[in-house]
Structure 1
């Protein structure tokens, strides 16, 4: 009796086995579908005399999602069609989120570049009539940098130490209480922080309006952000590193100082920079506590100061064309400052990332 051998290719797949490959739409299909949907939507909008471009966009979105889903169902099958539908909806949501951002930046740049120059950055509003051109934001820029710097000097160490306590030592009711109040502080409106400092520092203790008063309110807003970001970064440090250090006889406080913090320093600094970017544009606490000034005041502890958010508010409140131009220019500088903080945070995160063999 002869044995019948079933010859199987070296790859291990029998020739009679069903193919694992399925028909797929070409890579250019989504882009082509999007272009076609936009063209049809423009045609429908012009034919129906729809005046709103938003209506054109909604028609294009519906055509794109529906057409791509139908094509995928016919060619790729139901399962892949559902995946295409979810992916296309995510792209649509991403574009809808990005469009207002780019529109805001484009409009601010177009308006702000009218008066933004070296003189605008190096002069104050002292002696400048608001209905006339001229003046600048030098006094506001100095105030913003000093107030944010003082707030960071107060909030960053307290937030860092609080996070270390919660992650490394926190047990029992005290840790739960601290966590609860950190969560509450995260949702405190900025105007409430300003009112608290106004009541305690200026009304009760009878101190004057100053940049330092505004910095204290900004520090209150900054602290919970620093605590939360630092806490998450410390939790990402592997416990094996702590255990190895403790097994060598290193005290816990020195383990935290020499092992845990250097490992998480990139994320910690990134969180601090993002917290700085968050408080830079705050207006309400500065409006209540800094009071505003048209002259340069380099001393944040004595007398009213100005800041960029307050400058924008005051210039817009003047209600004339030169003031509007100055407000848009100051808003553009403020956006650039916040963007610089975010880019710096991302750069530090990349630099201190543990991947790629870097320490």
Structure 2
């Protein structure tokens, strides 16, 4: 059987310095050492099962010189063409149009540069990669723009301490920013979202467990209804709670009614996201639990839910982000007030989104500044809830923190000591030997 270049042992290398891979790294390093210089660092090699080096390790995350040239060339050519079109050759104007033309020109030049040395499949792969990275960049840029714009417009009101500690009970539309605040809206938002979470978390996760662990015809019906509710307009949820709760039972707007409307919007999000997460739990974990004699509900409580804990927390975060920013259902159910109300079952209770809506309607600059400051506080509150939820959720399955590792190690030591003590008690002691007395 003939030996190819990649299969040739190192001992059969030719005298020209080829080490079997065509690189000659070993001989070049030896020559540099003999000449008195330092040997260059040899690339990392992948040995085969027989111990033969088959080639240098390829680093997939590193870009080649051609790839960098294509990207940089297209980045320079795209804006240049857009500038020529908007400033010299055509009467085009506007920054948004310039960005669109520059991006399209960038894609066109990138396709041209890549196609010079690549085939069609590689061109498709490179262009799709650039489009995906561009989509992520645009999404992150839009989010950063919203945050920066809200904080920038509200920076006039945010430095005042009274903005966080006072209410709008004694503040008028012409008063300065040193009077009045949004403490009543912050408290109202926390109360409403807490009640909504107390309703949706157990109901949503239990429904997701039912869909995955029980199944059946009714489960398919429930999944269809929950999927349809994800596209439910928020104003419809507000109208439903207004007609079913306020008109028929309470006869007044309240924070509890707003919480019910928010729950209607959060529940399908939590059910759908939790359903997807529970489907990702490997089936062999359930089978192993059943093989050890565990019941179905014990398996769900001790195996399925802990494994999917991180994903379930993400589902709750998605539902919370949807509910905490709702304005339409709260507008119909909670009412607008300028005073502090700690009782969610009596009287109107305003929230941060509704307070923003009420502020920005005013033509007064100070009130509008308060509105943008309230929006910035809402964004920071969502970020804070996200951090708290991630801390509660912890890491993914199999990823232990330092404290968890120490606890597991201590449990292992305790188990070892208990097993050793039990073996010592079960081991029979040797019978005493009697010495016969000599006559």
With the length of structure 2 as denominator, give the TM-score of the two structures.
Answer: 0.73
Q: Given the alignment, which residue of 150, 166, 180 partners 2:211?
A: 166
Unmatched runs of 5 consecutive residues or more in structure 2: 9-19, 23-63, 405-439
| Mapped pair 1:51 → 2:93 | yes
- Retained in 1: the 8 A contact 2:307–2:396? no
User: Hey, what's the Cα distance between the residues in 1 that align with 2:147 and 2:80?
Assistant: 27
SS of 1:187's equivalent in the other structure is coil
Name the structure 1 match of 2:225.
Answer: 181
| Mapped pair 1:116 → 2:170 | no
Unmatched runs of 5 consecutive residues or more in structure 1: 16-22
Name the structure 2 match of 1:19.
Answer: none
Root-mean-square deviation (Å):
2.5
Per-residue CA distance 1:242-278 (angstroms, 9 max, x = gap): 1221222222111111111111111112211221111
Deviation of 1:356 after TM superposition, in Å, equals 4.6
- Retained in 1: the 8 A contact 2:70–2:113? no
Q: Given the alignment, which residue of 148, 170, 174 partners 1:127?
A: 170
User: Hey, what's the Cα distance between the residues in 1 that align with 2:199 and 2:230?
Assistant: 17
Cα pair distance change 1:235/1:125, threshold 3 Å: same
Cα pair distance change 1:82/1:243, threshold 3 Å: closer
Name the structure 2 match of 1:353.
Answer: 396
User: Hey, what's the Cα distance between the residues in 2 that align with 1:215 and 1:58?
Assistant: 43
Q: Given the alignment, which residue of 45, 64, 89 partners 2:131?
A: 89
Name the structure 2 match of 1:8.
Answer: 4
Say which structure is richer in helix: 1
User: Hey, what's the Cα distance between the residues in 1 that align with 2:68 and 2:388?
Assistant: 36
Deviation of 1:144 after TM superposition, in Å, equals 0.3
Greater length-normalized contact order (CA 8 Å, ≥ 6 residues apart): 1
Deviation of 1:197 after TM superposition, in Å, equals 1.1
Deviation of 1:159 after TM superposition, in Å, equals 0.9
Q: Given the alignment, which residue of 103, 106, 119 partners 1:77?
A: 119
| Mapped pair 1:272 → 2:316 | yes
User: Hey, what's the Cα distance between the residues in 2 that align with 1:230 and 1:271?
Assistant: 6
User: Hey, what's the Cα distance between the residues in 2 that align with 1:303 and 1:213?
Assistant: 10
Counterpart mapping for 1:223-302 below 5 A: 223-302=267-346
Deviation of 1:104 after TM superposition, in Å, equals 2.4
- Retained in 1: the 8 A contact 2:308–2:397? no
Number of matched residues?
347
With the length of structure 1 as denominator, give the TM-score of the two structures.
Answer: 0.88
User: Hey, what's the Cα distance between the residues in 1 that align with 2:132 and 2:149?
Assistant: 26
Select between 244-253 and 44-53 the one with higher mean Cα deviation: 44-53
User: Hey, what's the Cα distance between the residues in 2 that align with 1:14 and 1:321?
Assistant: 73
Name the structure 2 match of 1:38.
Answer: 79
Deviation of 1:343 after TM superposition, in Å, equals 4.6
SS of 1:104's equivalent in the other structure is helix
Cα pair distance change 1:14/1:88, threshold 3 Å: closer
Deviation of 1:38 after TM superposition, in Å, equals 2.1
- Retained in 1: the 8 A contact 2:262–2:323? yes
User: Hey, what's the Cα distance between the residues in 2 that align with 1:88 and 1:54?
Assistant: 20
User: Hey, what's the Cα distance between the residues in 2 that align with 1:77 and 1:178?
Assistant: 49
User: Hey, what's the Cα distance between the residues in 1 that align with 2:332 and 2:151?
Assistant: 29
- Retained in 1: the 8 A contact 2:306–2:397? no
SS of 2:308's equivalent in the other structure is helix
| Mapped pair 1:198 → 2:198 | no
- Retained in 2: the 8 A contact 1:124–1:138? yes
User: Hey, what's the Cα distance between the residues in 1 that align with 2:119 and 2:207?
Assistant: 54
| Mapped pair 1:329 → 2:373 | yes
Deviation of 1:43 after TM superposition, in Å, equals 4.2
Cα pair distance change 1:343/1:35, threshold 3 Å: farther
Deviation of 1:28 after TM superposition, in Å, equals 4.5
Select between 197-206 and 142-151 the one with higher mean Cα deviation: 197-206
Q: Given the alignment, which residue of 193, 199, 223 partners 1:148?
A: 193
Deviation of 1:178 after TM superposition, in Å, equals 1.6
Higher-Rg structure is 2
Cα pair distance change 1:36/1:339, threshold 3 Å: farther
